[in-house]
Amino acid sequence: MKARVLALAMGLLIVSRVAVAAPPPPVPDIPGHAPKLSIYIAKGAANSCGQGCDRWIAVEGKVDSGAAARVRQFLRKTKGAESLPFYFHSPGGAFRDGLAIGRMLRARNAVARVAKTIVSACSAGTQIDDACLKLKNSGSELEASLITRGAMCNSACSYLFLGATTREVAPDAGLGVHTSRIILRFTGNPTPRQQAEVMASRRSQSNQEAASFIKAMGISHELVDLIRTVAFESGHALTRQELYRFGIDKRKLVETGWALETKARPFVQKFALVKKGNDEFRTLEWRLYCEPKDRARLMFIRQFDKEAGVSSIAMVAGSEKPLTFGTRPARVGAYEAWIAVIKSDAVKDLFAQPHLQVGESALMPDGKTTKSLFEIDTQGLDGAWTQLSATCFTNPTAPADTSGVTAPAGLPGATLPATPVPAKNP
């Protein structure tokens, strides 16, 4: 009976997609995503994809049936691109094509990241009009830039991503998972029970395929357990703690590049997440403002350590004298903001270095002083400051805007008062 029922199945299509907040419309209709997967080489400014990196492989759009064959052909033809990192932006798609592409990346010991590739020659809108897609699929190397904010690699795309040997998800990008959707088409008139038996068999098969793949990629079985609890209609964006605990992104410090934020008063912004002693991550933010009289104001926002007493913050660029922040931060809720004022010319000393050292010290209740030192990169700072400098004195009397200090999607937010009030140290 079972064999006869299985013979009634005309085909099986396992597709994947995810929504973090609300169920999206069908994948082909999601704005910003092409209905078929595109893969091409992009070239950006110096260090645009990391220190010493200006070329990458962009993979974007729906993972359609047949995508694996196109990716295989692309990789075979692109000689000299073996060391280039992959950047993904996709809502998901065909499950088995996702597994196949993931295995290709593992064979290359690939580096994978999540970001949108913005091709310069395409329109500034969706980047998926016919002319732009023709260009992306032409086989030419394209001038482009990268944006991590709002980028996604969801559902079937996550299997592509997991296949890489090195995996990096920026604080403002997302990796989403959920169970696969099984579509069965029957001929004849099978009973509801027979249809349920076929569905259960196919579901078990896809679960086993996913579990086997995840294990082979060295990812914790916790991810398998989680995926099986997430309905196809809802989806789940992996938290930073989950990315770290499952062994997907093992970095203890993850950061965005520096980017211009065009508010009422523009500023240059950077986010970072730093692992604490346990599995939790602490949110950090930097804001760089223009000030009157050829000055710049650097604001450092961090989650407040309730156990610490008097604290101090310093930043070092190369061997220069440390840039020290004020000792009385503005404090609201779980966040506090530290401010340092420097000459605008001295900002060049910051982006002249590939990394900046940030030092924190705090007096603990037992009288001991704790100290920590970590590095953040300066990727994007030069270009963002150049853009900001052009607007520095258009409104010279406006104070640095500390209202609405909010983290990007996926990060916990903070709100600080419009006028900082010095906090009394305990």
Q: Is the pLDDT of residue 389 over 70?
A: yes
Mean pLDDT of 250-267: 92
**pLDDT reported for residue 98:** 96
What is the tens place of the pLDDT at every residue in 116-174?
999 999 976 679 999 999 999 999 999 999 999 999 999 999 999 999 999 999 999 99
Q: Which two tokens stand for residue 70?
A: 């196109």
Q: Does residue 380 have a pLDDT over 70? A: yes
- Per-residue pLDDT at 142: 97
Higher pLDDT, 390 or 367: 390
Residue with tokens 């692109």, as numbered in its chain: 78
Is it the case that residue 403 has pLDDT exceeding 90? no
Domains defined for the chain, CATH in brackets: 2-245 (3.90.226.10), 253-389 (2.60.40.1880)
**Who has greater pLDDT, 390 or 69?**
69
Under 8 Å between Cβ of 323 and 278: no
User: What's the pLDDT score for residue 308?
Assistant: 63
Which of 175-184, 223-232, 299-308, 354-363 holds the top average pLDDT? Answer: 223-232
Flag whether pLDDT at 370 surpasses 90.
no
In this prediction, residue 323 has a pLDDT band, given cuts at 50, 70 and 90, of confident
